[in-house]
Amino acid sequence: MGIWINGALAEEATRITAAIEGMTANEAAVAGMVFGLGTGFIIALGVVLLAAGIVSIVLNFKQSMKLAKAFGKGTAFGAGLFLLGPVFRLVLGFGGAQYQGKPE
């Protein structure tokens, strides 16, 4: 980094911030090319973020099923825990379900 003269650094930061705010996917791809990231990087980042979201959903589903089994409930209750977690956790907490231990 060099020395910035006459507020050029602040002007550049303002220009970049304005360019990033409110971009569509096409505009983000163009910005990636302009800022040197390239379209491949933007696509790879999108794939990684999509994969992370899918893994998160799968792990949440598995955790919901294990929690249902730990309280002696069935698969339908586990699906309810997955879809409406806060409501079904209240049912577990304030209902008559007893913890039966860690499922195998």
Query: Which pLDDT tens digit goes with each residue over 53-83?
Result: 999 999 999 999 999 999 999 999 999 999 9
Instruction: State pLDDT tens for residues 3-37.
Output: 555 555 555 666 666 666 666 666 666 666 666 66
Instruction: Give the separation between CA 5 and CA 14, rounded to whole angstroms.
Output: 15
Alpha-carbon distance of 58 to 60, in angstroms, equals 5
User: Beta-carbon neighbour count of residue 37 at 10 Å?
Assistant: 15
pLDDT of amino acid 43: 81
Give residue 1's pLDDT: 46
pLDDT reported for residue 83: 96
Delimit the domains of the chain by residue range.
1-36, 39-104
pLDDT per residue as tens digits for the range 84-102:
999 999 999 999 989 988 8
Q: What's the chain's length in residues?
A: 104
Q: Which of 78, 42, 86 is nearest to 62 (CA)?
A: 78
d(CA 62, CA 37): 37
Residues 12/20, Cβ–Cβ less than 8 Å: no
pLDDT for res 42: 74
81: CB partners within 8 A, 6+ apart: 64, 65, 67, 68, 88, 89
